[in-house]
Chains A and B, each alone.
Chain A
Amino acid sequence: MTRPALALCALCLLAACDGPLSTLQPSGPIATEIAWLWWAMLAGAALITVFVLGLLAMGFGAPRKTQARVWTHGLGLWFSMAILGSVLGAGLWVGERILPRDDGAVTVQAHAFQWGWEFTHEDANGAAMRSTDLLHIPAGQPVDVLITSEDVIHSFWVPQLAGKMDAIPGRTNRARLKADTPGIYDGICAEFCGVGHAHMRFTVQAHADWPPDLSDEGTEQQEGAP
């Protein structure tokens, strides 16, 4: 195959990874770091698979003199520990960078119920603004989502912005999101929650200005000031 054809194939494959819920089309630094982690692990896994299957293929042949310790200790223990240690290290490094921390990030609330989401953010006056199935966040800065549930366990997931976090009755969980640019991002409930699970979707709208001026839109209701 010629080089342009290969490049075209690769492009097609990458394009095939796109979609409003795709973790491989990240739109924020958190999801981007995880996507890079995935591509690196995929490359490593592919190499290891080829290596092991190569050893397997070479096993079909005349008997060879071979030392047990090379296999059980050399490959089994040290080779695998080296690989696993570096993967674990990469995971911890990325994990540390994407954790929510106490840095005064904007905080919004997500309350899950069968089957939908009630989101709350504060407007300029500090009043609670509620919306159903539409979450407003600022673009370009970290946002912590405090996640709770009304009834059963759900899971809050916006694949293009960050990983998921469960909504568990009786607890409050915190997840950090960050969107690079203003825009609309899709979200979905990831934990099976009954008959309406497949339709428990929501949208995240990232605004350039914060708090956003929502006076034109009819979906929000303003609560009394706290």
Chain B
Amino acid sequence: MTDIPTPAAASARADSVHVAPAPAQRALALHRDLTRVWRNDRGLWGQITAVNHTTLGLRFMGTALVFFAIGGILSMLIRAQLATHQGAFLDTALYNQIFTMHGSIMMFLFAIPMLEGLGIWLLPKLLGTRDMAFPRLTALGYWCYLFGGLIMLTALLFGVAPHDGWFMYTPLSDATHSPGINADVWLLGVTFVEISAVAAAVEITVTILRQRAPGMKLTEMPLFAWYMLGTSAMMLVGFPPLIAGSVLLELERAFGWPFFDPTRGGDPLLWQHLFWLFGHPEVYIIFLPAAGVMSMIIPVMCRTTILGYGAIVAAILALVFLSFGLWVHHMFTVGIPHMALAFFSAASVLVAVPTAVQVFAWIGTMWKGHPQLHLPMYHICGFFLTFVMGGLTGVMLAIVPFNWQAHDTAFVTAHLHYVLIGGFVFPMMAAATYWLPLITGKARIRGVGEAAFWVILLGFHGTFFIMHLTGLMGMPRRIDVYPDNPEWVWLNLTSSIFSFVLTIGFAMFVLDLILQATLGQRTRRDPWDAPTLDWAMPVPSPSYNFASLPISRHLGQSARDAVLSLARGEGALAGAARGRRELLVTSVGVARPHHVAILPGNTALPLYLSASIGVFVLMMLAGQYRLAALALVPVGALIWVWARGMAPAGDLRAVEVAPNLNLPVHHCAQHSLARTGLAAVLVADGTLFVSLLFGVAFLSVVTPATPPPAAGADTVTSLVGLGVIGIALVLAALVGRLNTRSAAALGLGANLLALAALLWLAFSQMDDPTAHARDALRAAVAGYVGLHMLVAAAMAAFVLDQFRRGEITPQTQGALGAWQMWQHFTTAVALLAALVLIAQVGVS
């Protein structure tokens, strides 16, 4: 049922993934049909209800550009303040808000959303599909990003922005040392924004694994897809520690649970570990998409193919793994044992190797081909010059003795700007100049872009090159005045002057984009003569990308040869005959056609859901915790409505994808996109759980002991309670497989019983979580498990409702599979949490 139902297709399976071409149709008729189905609604409302990846990808990038400008203005204020040793005009409290917001905006509101936007906009085009896997999730991510960013900006306008530095070290950021809502704005705002990061990571993973054009093997896909796969995997594992840390710190600030308070058994270093467990991979999360851009553009600019495809893929995988093993190099001065210092120093140095492999592969590609100095190539040269130097100072900082001198000085500020502007902003400018014709359909106006490049290059190196020296001459980060150190004045003044040159350069770059979009001449299709599918479509790109989806024969062709054939419907799933948004789902490895996914159309539901989450965040900020709890009711209700939108409905017959190839629609398929997506969510969720367990282990083993108050729990009663929970959850996990209505009812009951037992345990046996960090972490783990039980119960109820409506049949599974996966996960984490609790009690 799940796979290919016709005998002809059985032989098709044998010879890998051959899909027969369809007869040609009238291109204009296909275009009209597809546009009617895929376009956004008209007017402003159409923008609000848009879920299309092209619209949202561009909107992500446009919004990120606005935040880049705001962050840039803040950096101008910083440089103006530091130009003289007495400080120009800002008082210290305001200055602290400004540098904190500069860093936070550039990281969380510019770099991450920019790369998400690029991935969302480009990947479906590059892989030969029509949209991302979960269009409503794309829109939800955008609104969460926008609202979270607006909350942080509003705080800045009212002078209550975060002021503890962008890495928010405790105890400086705790309730005692940062009273007021400043730190809460950061914790809640950034966590709100991170919903969009996790959402993007989930759908980028699923899109790359399951939506490649038939025959586009994983091992042969364009390198940008490999880079984004690495990025999204890192985001799934990298963001949960930050989210865990932020939630714990917010719990400490709001309710006094002392996770990080050394007087009550907590540890400020736990925050640093959680933050940098995210923070270092974050650097590579930002770098990998940029490197992907390099790997795409360099071969095209050099009229050749990439050199060392396999070595580059190996380097990507090595970076993904290694980057999780070196977060401690941000903490070399906190008093780490010497052996650990040597280990993390070596790991930090080692991560330079895969980076070097890529850099040399790119230069080798240039040797192999014939580089042409188009504008993207300027920015690529800017990348090499800047990033190589930033990488080398990074190696220096990985050397512990040198790190002890350079840490927390302007040297680090210089290094990170070399890496981030060199390793991200220059490649993004190359990307913008390369792909803009596909966005606007216009050719660029010569001159402005080149001038902008030279001004940016001069301004950047003028600002940051001597900042290395400023740091080595002893200037720490984050100071606003230096009356006793006249020897720093000329250095700072030079940096400040060139920073204004840099700003002018960026303004010229934006001007170039605007000029091209408004005054540029219409360009022809595929202006670069590229080999990839992103150019095998009209410019500007239509809402549906491809009139028919590329098949094996289009993959070996240049974009120019494929474009007309695809427009005439000679690929798979031509047109929109059934009046709904359809795309082809393929297998992970060799991209064998598997089923047809029907995507949701335009809807305002993502806006409503993110707005209701926003109400919750605002209530938390206002300290109205009861109202905040109440605000979760509409959130839950809207998620239910969201899930109802995924129920089997409409025409469920198999679809003719190509001649002699009929495939089932996703409601009738076993391994749908949603299932892959849920697996990705559970990876992130599991990492969140592991982060909490890391906290338990860290406080038990590493933290200098502050004895906890005597435990009030009665052992026998607690064990009985845990036993009830365990049995109920194992039962729920087992009955999920039975696939009957009564089993769903039993699962619902079992989850509710487990939840009731947990609540009873929490209120009768658990020690006061404000007394000691150990008890606070136990309460946090119990809360995590309880929340999962609640969701499991809701999913069981949803399945029960689907049985009642007759949506679960032998052909259609409804939400049954999702509930089973979630239930297994919930049961596993609950049992694991109970084991850890018992072990912890047993040891102490």
A residues whose Cβ falls under 8 Å from a Cβ of B: 16-24, 31, 33-34, 37-38, 41, 45, 48-49, 52-53, 55-56, 58-64, 66, 68-73, 75-77, 79-81, 84, 87-88, 90-92, 94-95, 98-99, 114, 151-153, 155, 157, 159, 162-166, 168-171, 173-174, 186, 188-198, 201
Contacts and interface: CB of A to CB of B under 8 A. Distances in A.
B359 interface: yes
B172 A152 contact: yes
Contact of A80 (B353, B389, B401, B481): B353
A33 B401 CA distance: 9
B234 to A, nearest CB: 21
B363 A71 contact: yes
Contacts of B357: 72, 76-77, 80
Interface string B85-122: 00000001100100000000000000000000000000
B267 interface: yes
Contacts of A95: 338, 341-342, 400-401
B333 A164 contact: yes
B373 interface: yes
A74 B149 CA distance: 46
A28 to B, nearest CB: 12
28 contacts: A19-B474, A19-B488, A37-B402, A38-B396, A41-B395, A52-B363, A55-B360, A55-B367, A58-B367, A60-B371, A68-B307, A72-B311, A76-B356, A80-B353, A91-B345, A92-B342, A95-B342, A153-B169, A153-B268, A162-B404, A166-B335, A170-B263, A170-B267, A188-B474, A191-B169, A192-B165, A194-B96, A194-B172
A186 B398 CA distance: 26
B363 A55 contact: yes
Interface string B286-309: 000000000000000000100110
A198 B477 CA distance: 9
Interface of B: 92-93, 96, 164-165, 169, 171-172, 177, 262-263, 267-269, 304, 307-308, 311-312, 315, 333-335, 338, 341-342, 345-346, 349-350, 352-353, 356-361, 363-364, 366-371, 373, 381, 384-385, 388-389, 392-393, 395-396, 398-409, 469, 472-482, 484-485, 487-488, 703-704, 706
B485 A21 contact: yes
Given A38-B396, A52-B384, A163 B401 contact: yes
B366 A56 contact: yes
A164 to B, nearest CB: 5
Contact of A34 (B308, B315, B402): B402
Contacts of B177: 114, 151-152, 194
A191 B173 CA distance: 13
Contacts of B407: 163-164, 190
A81 to B, nearest CB: 6
Contacts of A18: 487
Given A53-B385, A194-B172, A66 B367 contact: yes
A53 B401 contact: no
A153 B171 contact: yes
B472 A23 contact: yes
B358 A88 contact: no
B472 A155 contact: no
B364 A72 contact: yes
Given A159-B405, A166-B333, A190-B409, A64 B367 contact: yes
A30 to B, nearest CB: 8
Contact of B405 (A23, A59, A70, A192): A23
Given A19-B473, A72-B357, A198 B92 contact: yes
Contacts of A61: 370
Contact of B373 (A60, A90, A201): A60
Contacts of B477: 192
B392 A88 contact: no
B361 A88 contact: no
Nearest to A26: B405
A201 B405 contact: no
Contacts of B488: 19
Nearest to A46: B392
A84 B704 CA distance: 35
B360 A53 contact: no
A16 B494 CA distance: 14
B305 to A, nearest CB: 10
Contacts of B269: 168, 171
A56 B476 CA distance: 35
A48 B392 contact: yes
Contacts of A190: 333, 407-409, 476
A188 to B, nearest CB: 6
Nearest to B350: A84
A173 B364 CA distance: 48
The winner among B177, B346, B400 for most chain A CB atoms within 10 A is B400
Contacts of B353: 76-77, 80-81, 84
Given A52-B384, A194-B177, A63 B363 contact: no
Nearest to A93: B401
A91 B395 CA distance: 11
Given A49-B388, A76-B357, A59 B366 contact: yes
Give the 3 A-B CB pairs with smallest separation, nearest first.
Answer: A163-B404, A21-B474, A170-B262
A190 B373 CA distance: 45
Contacts of B373: 60
Contacts of A188: 474, 476
A21 B408 CA distance: 14
A26 to B, nearest CB: 9
B333 A23 contact: no
B392 A49 contact: yes
Given A45-B392, A52-B388, A163-B333, A66 B364 contact: yes
Nearest to A201: B484
A20 B474 CA distance: 8
A151 to B, nearest CB: 6
Contacts of A34: 401-402, 404-405
Contact of B480 (A37, A63, A72, A198): A198
Contacts of B366: 56, 59-60
Nearest to A194: B172
Contact of A62 (B335, B361, B370, B405): B370
Contact of B333 (A24, A38, A88, A165): A165
B332 to A, nearest CB: 9
A68 B360 CA distance: 10
A80 B349 CA distance: 10
B360 A72 contact: yes
Given A164-B408, A195-B93, 5 more contacts: A19-B474, A60-B371, A91-B400, A163-B333, A168-B269
Contacts of A189: 476
A60 B378 CA distance: 12
B474 A159 contact: yes
A71 B304 CA distance: 16
The winner among B177, B384, B392, B405 for most chain A CB atoms within 10 A is B405
Given A19-B487, A76-B357, A68 B364 contact: yes
A171 B356 contact: no
Contact of A171 (B335, B369, B406, B484): B335
A198 B370 contact: no
Contacts of B171: 151-153, 169
A157 B406 CA distance: 11
Given A76-B311, A84-B352, A59 B485 contact: no
B368 A66 contact: yes
The winner among B267, B346, B401, B479 for most chain A CB atoms within 10 A is B401
A195 B99 CA distance: 13
Nearest to A30: B401
B389 A63 contact: no
Contacts of A66: 307, 364, 367-368
Contacts of A90: 399
Contacts of A55: 360, 363, 367
A154 B481 CA distance: 18
A19 B401 contact: no
Contacts of B333: 155, 163-166, 190
